[in-house]
Amino acid sequence: MKIAGTGKKLPQTTVSNAELAKFLETSDEWITSKTGIHSRTICKSESITDLAEAAARNALENAGLSISEIDMLICATVTGDYLMPSMACCILERFEAAKCPAFDINAACSGFIYAMDIADSFIKAGKAKNILIVCAEMMSRMVDWQDRASCILFGDGAGACVVTEGDLLKYIRVFSDAQIEPLFTKFGGFLQMQGQHVYKFAVKTIETEINLALSALKLTPQDIDFFILHQANARIIEGARSRLKLPAEKFPMNIQKYGNMSAASIPVLLAEMAEEGRIKKGDTIMLLGFGAGMTAGTAVLEW
C-alpha cells in the first residue's frame, strides 16, 4: 500500500505548563526538563468526534478522494465519545450517504501502526482499495488533573491518513508484550501508570525494533530520512537519536506543543510535516509506536 493523503485537527485550547503550575505543585522548568513538553492542546468546546471528522476530511481532501470512494474506515482510539457505537461509525455518520465497513481498534499509543497493518492486509487480500485511517484521542478525559505524574503528559488531538494500493510500504511489524499493570485505565477510573516501567519498555522497544527493521531491509540508520516516533517523552526520543549517532533533524518532534496524544501522535506529526513540506517524495520514513498493553509497532515506507 501507500499513503495517499494525511490530515490533522487539534483543539482550540492550549494549556501551558505555567497554567498547570497554578494548581499543581510543579513548574514549567520541571515539566520541560523531565518531558520536553511546554504545552498541550485540550478539548473544551469540541468533542473528540469533531476532531476526528475534521482530520478525516483534511486527509480525504489531500488524497483527492471523496468519502464515497472509501472502502473501509478504521479508527484507532481509547477515548471515543461512546462505549458503543464505535467512533468509526460516529465519524462516518458525519458524512452523508457514506456506506462502508467501519470499526475501532484499541492498541493505545501503537494504534496507528496497528491500523496500517490491518489496512495493508485488506488491500493485499483485494477486499479494499482505499482505506481511511483516523486516530483520535481525548486523553484529557482519562487523567486525574490533581495527579502531577500523569496529567502533565497528555493532550488531545486527531490525525488521519488515506491509504491505497501501491508498493511504498516496505516493512511493517506489530507485537504485544502482554502486561496490564504498567499502564491502564479501568472503567470509570483515571489513567494509572508506572512511569519507570513504561520508560524502560519504550527505550528497549525502540532500540530492538529499529534494529529489526533495518536488518530486514538491509539498511543503515543513515538510510532513513526521518524516524517518526510516538511522542511520549522528548528524553526517550533524544536517547534513541543519541544512541544511533544521528542528527536531530532526523527525529522530528511536536510533543513540546501538543503533549502525548496516544494513537494520534504519529499521524498528527506526519500530517504536520507533510503540510509544511518537510517530507519530500522519495524520502524513507520509519514510524514507531509503543504503548499500553504493552504494544508496539514499526513501519518503514517510502513517501
pLDDT in tens, 209-235: 999 999 999 999 999 999 999 999 999
Same domain, 77 and 112: yes
Residue 188 pLDDT: 87
Same domain, 156 and 174: no
Which of the residues 75, 109, 135, 151 is marked catalytic? 109
Total count of domains within the chain: 2
Asked if pLDDT for residue 238 goes beyond 70, the answer is yes
pLDDT band at residue 96 using 50, 70 and 90 as cut-offs: confident
Question: Cβ distance 37 to 27 under 8 Å?
Answer: no
Q: How far apart are CA 269 and CA 249, in angstroms?
A: 14
Estimate to the nearest angstrom the gap between the alpha carbon of 203 and the chain centroid: 17
Q: How far apart are CA 247 and CA 250, in angstroms?
A: 6
Estimate to the nearest angstrom the gap between the alpha carbon of 114 and the chain centroid: 10
Task: Give the domain extent around 204.
Answer: 169-302
60 HSE (CA, 13 A, CB side): 20
Same domain, 114 and 203: no
> What is the average pLDDT value for the chain, to the nearest integer?
95
Q: How far apart are CA 74 and CA 112, in angstroms?
A: 10
| CB-based contacts of 159, cutoff 8 Å, min separation 6 | 6, 7, 8, 55, 112, 134, 135, 136, 261, 264, 265, 266, 267, 268, 269, 270, 271
Q: How far apart are CA 230 and CA 108, in angstroms?
A: 11
Return the ∠ at Cα 208 (arms to 202 and 211), rounded to 5°. 135
CB atoms near residue 166 (< 10 Å)? 13
Question: Cβ distance 248 to 145 under 8 Å?
Answer: no
Same domain, 79 and 195: no
Question: Cβ distance 7 to 38 under 8 Å?
Answer: no
Which of the residues 75, 151, 161, 230 is marked catalytic? 230
Q: How far apart are CA 190 and CA 99, in angstroms?
A: 35
Same domain, 36 and 154: yes
Task: Point out the domain boundary residue: 100, 134, 164.
Answer: 164
Same domain, 46 and 140: yes
pLDDT band at residue 120 using 50, 70 and 90 as cut-offs: very high
Q: How far apart are CA 283 and CA 229, in angstroms?
A: 16
Same domain, 159 and 174: no
Question: Is 260 marked active-site?
Answer: yes
Same domain, 131 and 189: no
* Residue 20 grid coordinates: 498547570
Same domain, 12 and 157: yes
Question: Cβ distance 303 to 125 under 8 Å?
Answer: no
Distance spanning both ends of the chain, measured CA to CA: 11
Question: Is 254 marked active-site?
Answer: no
pLDDT band at residue 98 using 50, 70 and 90 as cut-offs: confident
Same domain, 141 and 103: yes
Same domain, 17 and 135: yes
Asked if pLDDT for residue 80 goes beyond 80, the answer is yes
What CATH number has the domain bearing residue 39? 3.40.47.10
Question: Is 109 marked active-site?
Answer: yes
Q: What is the mean pLDDT of residues 136-147?
A: 95
Percentage of residues in the chain having pLDDT higher than 90: 92
Least confident of 16-20, 123-127, 201-205, 279-283: 201-205
Task: Point out the domain boundary residue: 119, 148, 164.
Answer: 164
Same domain, 181 and 44: no
Task: Point out the domain boundary residue: 164, 195, 212.
Answer: 164
Residue 97 pLDDT: 67
Return the ∠ at Cα 240 (arms to 208 and 152), rounded to 5°. 110
Rg (CA), the chain: 18
Q: How far apart are CA 110 and CA 232, in angstroms?
A: 11
Question: Cβ distance 251 to 269 under 8 Å?
Answer: no
Question: Cβ distance 266 to 287 under 8 Å?
Answer: yes
Question: Cβ distance 280 to 129 under 8 Å?
Answer: no
Which of the residues 17, 62, 130, 260 is marked catalytic? 260
